[in-house]
A = this chain, B = another copy of it.
């Protein structure tokens, strides 16, 4: 079976669902979202006590929409009754939104391969054996599936934040966490809530930044939780981990500053995620060590009509890794596609996204 579909969206997370909803609001019905697991499933896999650091607020009044909403007419706060939704709550929000809007989504289906046909169409091979011929491919991939431990020698002796079981019984008295961002502090706070001491080794203390950008500075939500447990959390700044050595069940951490730390259990690496590890991204996008390289329309620089949306997108110098940031780049891409297709942009949809500050353009 071979279907012809104008727009294929890969991934039904926050970006994919928001983009599909926007397509629908622009009156575009010729699309399909392909999701390897279930709608919002990455969120459902978050640690049990990990919550959104950006607050959801009940109102979508007067176009001041919920920071965590992916569409102008929905609100996680209203849907979940949580100001800081847990990943599982957020998954419910995305599923409710997709269901209510009857978005076109094919779950439990992996995109196995994409090849370019001669006439500006792409051939998308699915794990179900189906193939789709499409003109536009939207990569709406989260990076949850691609944890990174950077250039640390012996990084296989550490355990990544994502895979560390915070609820495991009989935890050692003290844990060591590498990293200075939200995940490092979230881990330390969750362990502290169980009375477990931690030491955080970080290059800098992001609480002290004068930046107001929460992609860099730690959030107020984290700061306030941290302050409750600061007696249990030691922060050592100026430490850049270069190597983990292990011998007889002990681990030696080597830092760039020449110092070492010997511990009896493996360090927790809160060292982030990297979308560049995704094979489809590697195939269709150029990249630097950390970032996907995109043109000014968030398009691939290697192939036409392929776009990246979601947390991997940058806008000028700004990291768009929060929902309230990256949701602003759905509508401009849709309008670009309309332009390329010679379709008329519906003024009401344009106005809806513009008014709601979901239309960020150069």
Q: Interface residues, chain A, CB within 8 Å of chain B?
A: 54-64, 67, 75, 77-78, 81-83, 212-215, 217, 219-221, 223-224, 315, 318, 322, 324-325, 328, 357, 360
Contacts and interface: CB of A to CB of B under 8 A. Distances in A.
Given A357-B63, A357-B64, A357-B357, A58 B220 contact: yes
B62 A67 contact: no
Contact of A214 (B58, B215, B318): B58
9 contacts: A54-B57, A55-B55, A58-B217, A59-B212, A59-B213, A63-B357, A64-B325, A82-B220, A83-B221
A54 B360 CA distance: 25
B83 A224 contact: yes
A300 B201 CA distance: 60
Given A81-B224, A83-B220, 20 more contacts: A54-B57, A55-B83, A56-B220, A57-B67, A57-B214, A57-B220, A58-B212, A58-B214, A58-B220, A59-B212, A61-B212, A61-B213, A61-B214, A61-B215, A62-B325, A77-B220, A81-B223, A82-B220, A83-B221, A83-B224
A59 B75 CA distance: 19
A219 B75 CA distance: 13
DSSP majority for the A interface? loop
A60 B215 CA distance: 12
Nearest to A218: B58
Contacts of A213: 59, 61
A247 B56 CA distance: 48
Nearest to A324: B64
Contact of A328 (B62, B215, B318, B325): B62
Q: How many copies of this protein are present in the complex?
A: 2
A357 B324 CA distance: 15
Contact of A78 (B54, B212, B315, B328): B212
B220 A62 contact: no
Contacts of A55: 55, 57, 83
A255 to B, nearest CB: 29
Contacts of A54: 57
A59 B320 CA distance: 12
4 tightest A-B CB contacts, nearest first: A55-B55, A83-B220, A77-B220, A59-B214
Contacts of A219: 57-58
A107 B56 CA distance: 37
Contacts of A60: 212
Nearest to A81: B223
